[in-house]
Amino acid sequence: MKLTGNTVLITGGGSGIGRALAEAFHARNNKVVITGRDADRLSAVVKANPGIEARQLDVTNAAAIKSFARQVTDELPGLNVLINNAGIMRPEDLTSEETETAEATISTNLLGPTRLTAALLPHLLTAPHAAVLTVSSGFPTPLRPRIARRPPAGTSNDMPDTIRVGP
Ligand SMILES: NC(=O)c1ccc[n+]([C@@H]2O[C@H](COP(=O)([O-])OP(=O)(O)OC[C@H]3O[C@@H](n4cnc5c(N)ncnc54)[C@H](OP(=O)(O)O)[C@@H]3O)[C@@H](O)[C@H]2O)c1
């Protein structure tokens, strides 16, 4: 993909890998918009990097994703790169009957990128040099007990690093 002159949307850009990507793209003359839930963290990135924009978005909220996609493409028609980075990695007791952690992980790490990509695709398909990138998760080891739950086919582990969608 082209590394300068893009308008790049990075989910989970308030910390960690997302923040580092945001700052690296910002330093390379890209317009950068970051999202996340924690307004204070987003503000800290904006304050440290004048020019970066931030919007609040919970990627587990399907309705919010749809209205966000409409709003961000109206306000930033040059948007051509989506980086799905927001994600959670919580320890999980596979011997427990609870499924809360698994459901939160699927909602955030799998449905979040799927819904946001789908909502932005109509716009991205018309954008020059468009790309969708997904930061996926390795499978944590060691697992307790020795049960390996393989991620289902189609999870972010199976997503290609970069999908070229534009002309
Ligand atoms: N660090 C690693 O070793 C590693 C290894 C493999 C994969 N990864 C993946 O890399 C990505 C970034 O990880 P990181 O290490 O940089 O972790 P991190 O610092 O915890 O960043 C995760 C980001 O995702 C955002 N996020 C989480 N849930 C969200 C939600 N429901 N809606 C919107 N934003 C949400 C968080 O922002 P808010 O809390 O403000 O919403 C946070 O900024 C994740 O997808 C993670 O699974 C990391």
Q: Whose CA is nearest to atom 36 of ligand 1?
A: 12
Q: Which of 57-71, 85-99, 117-131 has the lowest mean pLDDT?
A: 85-99
Q: Is the dihedral of CA 115, 119, 122, 124 positive or negative?
A: negative
| SS3 assignment for 144-160 | CCCCCCCCCCCCHHHCC
Domain 7-164 has CATH 3.90.1640.10: no
Is 58 near ligand 1, meaning CB less than 6 Å away? yes
How confident is residue 149, by pLDDT bands cut at 50, 70 and 90?
very low
**Given this model, what pLDDT does residue 139 score?**
54
Is 14 near ligand 1, meaning CB less than 6 Å away? yes
How confident is residue 25, by pLDDT bands cut at 50, 70 and 90?
very high
State the distance from the centre of ligand 1 to the C-alpha of 134, rounded, in angstroms.
12
77 token code pair? 């028609």
**Given this model, what pLDDT does residue 137 score?**
73
**CB distance 135 to 108 below 8 Å:** no
* Integer angstrom CA distances of residue 157 from 25, 61, 150, 152: 24, 22, 10, 9
Mean pLDDT of the chain: 88
Instruction: Give the residue, out of 10, 58, 85, 101, with the most ligand 1 atoms within 8 A of its beta carbon, to mutate for a pocket test.
Output: 85
How many angstroms from the chain centroid is the CA of residue 104? 15
Q: Which residue has the higher pLDDT, 109 or 141?
A: 109
Give the global pTM: 0.88
Instruction: Tell me: pLDDT of 27 over 70.
Output: yes
How confident is residue 136, by pLDDT bands cut at 50, 70 and 90?
confident
Average pLDDT on 137-145 reads 52
Task: For 57-68, write each residue's pLDDT tens digit.
Answer: 999 999 999 999
Q: Domain spans of the chain?
A: 7-164
